[in-house]
Amino acid sequence: MTYNTEALELQDQGMRVLAVASEERLPEFPDVPTFVESGFDIVEGAWRGVAVPPDTPETVITTLADAFAEVSQDPEVVEQSEELGYHLENMGPEECADFTTRRTEEARELLEQFDMVNG
C-alpha cells in the first residue's frame, strides 16, 4: 500500500496498482477500481492541515483560512498538485473541526474493537 503520488512513480518501474482508497476512481488511474468497488469497505486519504492555539483570535483564524482557500483554488497550484498526484480539498475551520472529531471517533471505535483503549 502506498500513496498515489508514489504509485505514479513506481508504475514506471513495473508496479501494478490494484485498487485506490478514495471514494471515486482517480484520474491518474482511471482503470483502477476503488477498494469499495473491489468489495472492501475502505476509504482513506492523507490529510494535511494547519492548527493554531485555542486562544487564537477569530480574525487571525479567518485570515489564515481565507489565505489557504485562495491558494488551494489557484489554477496553477491545482494543476501542479494534480500533475504530482495530489488532490486538494480545502476545509474551513468549522468543517475541519467536524472532520477531526469524526475521524477521532472512528479511530476510537476501531481501537475499542481491538481492546486497546483504557487498558
Whether 36 contacts 42, CB under 8 Å: yes
Is residue 1 located within the same domain as residue 42?
A: yes
- Domain range for 83 is 49-119
Cα–Cα distances (Å) from 69 to 21, 28, 90, 99, in that order, read: 25, 24, 6, 17
Same domain assignment for residues 63 and 30: no
- Tell me: the pLDDT tens digits for 37-46? 999 988 888 8
Spatial separation of the C-alpha atoms in residues 59 and 1, rounded to whole Å: 41
105 and 90 in one domain? yes
- Mean of pLDDT values over 10-38: 90
Total number of domains in the chain: 2
25 grid coordinates: 476512481
Query: Same structural domain for residues 91 and 111?
Result: yes
Judgement on whether residues 59 and 27 belong to the same structural domain of the protein: no
Same domain for 68 and 55, yes or no, is yes
pTM: 0.71
CA–CA gap between residue 33 and residue 103 (Å, rounded):
24
Asked if the model's pLDDT at residue 33 lies above 80, the reply is: yes
pLDDT digits 0-9 by tens, 77-94:
999 988 888 888 899 999
Q: Are 37 and 55 members of one domain? A: no
**Judgement on whether residues 55 and 40 belong to the same structural domain of the protein:** no
